Amino acid sequence: MHAPPPVAFAHGVQRRSDSSRSPGKQSRSQGQGCPQATIEPVVEKNAPLQPCNTFGIAVRAHTLVRVRSADDITAFLADPDLSSRPVFLLGGGSNIVLTGDVRPVVLKIEIKGLRLVEETTEAWIVEAGAGEIWHDCVTWTLAQGYGGLENLALIPGTVGASPVQNIGAYGVELQDRFESLDAIDLVTGDEFTLDAAQCAFGYRDSVFKHASLPPDTACGRQGAMGLAGCTVIVRVRFRLPRPWKPVLGYQDLERRRVEEGIEHPSPQQIFDWVCDIRRTKLPDPAVVGNAGSFFKNPTVSPEQCADILTREPKMVHYPMPDGSIKLAAGWLIDSCGWKGKSIGKAGVYEKQALVLVNLGRGARSVTGSEVMTLAKAIQTSVYERFGINLELEPVAM
């Protein structure tokens, strides 16, 4: 069997057959129960990727395959011309910086479907296709009466990318609501399931972001430490706890609760607050191209934090449960004078220094090289002043 092509990010482990999935009670899906015709995925040549990345960078894919079902992946692997070439997985394009035309085959994940898989006294188990827009998934769960994802509203991207990044906001991370996911092994073509432990979630991190297995090894082997380059996520399931409890630990949310005089807010109210706060602080990618938070909040030891505070007493920092201290990357960048500054058509958002933005538009859009030049300049400034290395959140391709 041939080795899998290199993949920019991917996912996998533990075999799971279709027959093990519950039919669920409510759904919004496509094509379930329909007769299956011969599957031929949609293949596009010289495809524009500007509409497919939230930064709005104008580049093209030499070959783009639209994946709208697991069968499309099977058909892709059966095509010797396509499957023998390097591959780049693309969801909502909200966590990437494209620095040039993409030569690997782009697998554009567009698998849809939302449904309730199981309901118990302890939780609702909800399943979503990897190609669903994340915010649409959050909105749907609330419309069905399933609270739990409201703090994660308006995070850009797709459902399939959410476990890769272990997305999080306002006191909730994906791992707090994760049940399991289904993926397809790019070596064997088999479908597998991962539970939370196998995902090895960390701060904006997971097993999917780390080194691939050896090329002749199936992703199902136990004990694997890194799964990048192995598989494609096709479905994700969430465990939404019952009874629902609000998460209001962040100052912005608590301030809104006090201002509105609501002692016990509903999931919908928290959803509305989160959307309002995010729209106030962060630019809408549909208006101003961006990839959300561009840098991770760094963590340091208490001793290192104390040392910096002797020089920078106003530095924003937060103690973590493991004893480390998280520093606010936005504050570090702002303190170095970068807010509102630019290099070429790449700029630092005037309201939030953690966000880099596209100051161009259309054919005169920012280039990936300009974005990365700005990012490196910011990293250098922060290191020279604070001795802190800022890590990027998006992937440069």
Give the catalytic positions in this structure. 204, 293, 393
Question: DSSP character for 141?
Answer: H
Per the CB < 8 A criterion, the answer to whether 111 and 69 are in contact is: yes
Per the CB < 8 A criterion, the answer to whether 11 and 181 are in contact is: yes
In 3D space, the residue among 370, 372, 376 whose CA is nearest the CA of residue 343 turns out to be: 370
Measured distance CA(151)–CA(247) in Å, rounded: 8
Measured distance CA(345)–CA(368) in Å, rounded: 10
Per the CB < 8 A criterion, the answer to whether 232 and 120 are in contact is: no
DSSP 3-state assignment of 165?
A: helix
DSSP 3-state assignment of 357?
A: strand
Contacts of 348 (CB under 8 A, 6+ apart): 333, 338, 339, 340, 341, 342, 355, 356, 357, 374, 378
| Pairing outcome for strands 346-348 and 342-343 | antiparallel
Exposure of 326 by Cβ count < 10 A (0-12 exposed, 13-18 middle, 19+ buried)? middle
Contacts of 4 (CB under 8 A, 6+ apart): 186, 187, 215, 229, 230
Per the CB < 8 A criterion, the answer to whether 97 and 394 are in contact is: yes
Q: Would you call the peptide bond into 298 cis, given omega within 30 degrees of 0 as the criterion? A: no
